[in-house]
Structure 1
Amino acid sequence: MDFNLTDEQRELQDTARKFARAELPALARDMEHRDYPVPHDMLRTYGEMGFLGINLPEEYGGLGLGHLEALLVLEEFAQISNAVAFPVFEALVGPVRTIERFGSDAMKAKVLPEVIRGEKVVAVSMSEPDAGTALTDLKTSAVADGNPGSGSGAGGYVVNGTKRWTSGGGHSDYYVTYCRFTDDPGAKGIGAILLEKDMKGMNFGKREELMGFRGIPTADISIENVQVPGENVIVGAGGFGKLMSAFGLERCGNATQALGLAAAALEQALAYTQEREAFGKPIVDFQAVQIKLAEMAMKVDAARLLIHRAAANASAQPDGLPTVYESSLAKCYANEIVREVTALGMQVMGGYGYHKDYGMEQRLRDAYAWGIAGGAIDVQKTNIAAAMIGRRFDQRR
């Protein structure tokens, strides 16, 4: 068991760190202030640097590296801000991976190169007004209309429904949309279809104003009689379990976004407490401050180890993805500690920590989102218990 990164992994991490710290802080501050997503020119720069294809196949323009390498890069971006890291998250561990894993060869050949080059953005659209944690209650429907798909000869679909909390809503080009293909109850009728922003009948609601996540546009989608070619089906009815299997990696990405916030909070707190003086000496000389810094460091290191273990062990799994148990542990722990670490960072910085110009209060606001997004903290705990017991628990009865 070796906890050290390889020379190649360290080199990749260093490249990402140098780029992120040289090119992104001013952009991140402006995105936070004016609430807009990563601009297209910077997105293309991400692509040129290879950051959007770390663990995607070489045949589509990716680097073909492992999940751990992807998470190393994601953490460096997340230390600057979750907003500048979000396109990396979506490409390396989010909905793009669903397309890469389950999409047709034609879909992959079209979408993956566009994403890897930084030309297009993919979002996932899952939640609905009455289907969040209870995702299998979703009502968005894809009904076969018998019309041929564009060039495929396959029958098309008409999609109707309302989606909530779509990160990237109105900004992203493609939407991996969970929907019901049949009237079978629960998960049996659910699959996913790829919708495109410019399809007739795709209507986007107002930009949501959230506590944090500025720079990550979130909006409802009203889907009204959207005609979709058959080749846009990613997973058909009965494929809900397949879609959920890909969430092990997404959980690790969610955890890494949280870890980036916590690691940056620790770094800033360390620097501040060695510079700031009170009673004639740096405040780091006071034992109470030392204890807070140590608590922050323990939590950050433990979160990183859990995430890296889940990613490293994925290669031993038949599907090459992190297990539910290890990914849920990592996500749950990182989601909890990021709130604690950023709060401690604010406390040791005092008034400067509470001030918008210094970044710590932004980290605290963003920290709370990750324990809600991608499966709430308590849901992860039920996943952990189910994995230990060896069976799922029916939460409905």
Structure 2
Amino acid sequence: MGTTRMFGPRRVDKSLYQRLASLNWGIIALIVCLAGVGVAMLYSVSGGYWEPWASRHTVRFGFAFILMLVIAVTDIRYWMAMAYPAWVLGLLLLVLVEFIGATGMGGQRWLDIGVMRIQPSELVKIAVIMALARYFHGRTYDQARSLRSLFIPFILIFIPALLVIRQPDFGTGLMIIMGGASILFLSGLPAWIFVAAGVSVTAAVPIVWQLMKSYQRDRVLTFLNPEADPLGAGYQITQSKIALGSGGLMGKGFMEGTQSHLNFLPEMKTDFIFTVLVEEFGLVGAIVVLTMYATVLIYALLIGIGCRNQFGRLMASGLAITLFLYVFINVGMVMGLMPVVGVPLPLISYGGSAMLTWSVAFGLILSVAIHRHVTLAPRGSGIG
């Protein structure tokens, strides 16, 4: 059975050159700029040295950039066909982590593949969105609103989410659930189901509290009252707030941040890199970076809204919402408005798995943009 027969007739077949020409190079330039900000900040926190973080971040983005373009120019029908296999592969990698995963930062989250260590939970976020988009592409509006249609989506969301939470990585597990919930909402699920889910989650808070690890409870308590232990559990947030406030309007200047260069601020290269940026470039720098994120986000949403097929519409919109959640939670976290849950800032925070994940995500969004006029058959092979 050929691709055309499985997913419907092609509307327009573009050559490789036409696909490259169809790419939005303005958005790609913004993505490069965001990665460049990451390189500059990592250069700063290492005291003006390329090693060990800035150089690796640069090399990783170079490979990620090529991967993003390859994914972007690949026919969207291929990504639709790979949606369920990607979810299965992600699940297998999470199971492998349970048995042979490398331990670090208080959890067993990585797989050592020789040349690098990958964090499967990062890649699973994308796989869950792809699988859900594929599932709801094969459903009519009325079918998508039916409670009977929720069984498979719940499996697609909660099995990987629970495996990730077991590692333990509550922040990433929560992001998988929230990303999956966004697809359910966009597919037309009735609002009362989300209200009922919210009430259920609220009622389950005491049970969840008992199941949480001690350090996870400390994070929640610190979020509620960081001043109660400013030299202990509240140290990160307290120092982050000091750095943010000291940046002022224009910042102290590149590599002039005292909180970072005097090592008062922990986890500078990952969770709190936005704090370093604001201390050095002030409110103006923060607005510039957030505006770049907002531009990419709006572009992805518009591509999703304007896509002719449901698979591309849901996938692009779901990835856009995931980008928003990552930026919103990371910025809220360093400002003390949310608990510290270890959510990195896309393309700027140091981390190979995160860089790989976002290169795949942006590549898929660009692929949807190129193939937004392609008509896909409502059903194909696979689950459901």
User: Normalising by the residue count of structure 1, what TM-score does the alignment of the two structures yield?
Assistant: 0.29
Q: Which has the higher contact order (CA 8 A, sep 6+)?
A: 2
User: Normalising by the residue count of structure 2, what TM-score does the alignment of the two structures yield?
Assistant: 0.30
Say which structure is richer in helix: 2
Say which structure is richer in strand: 1
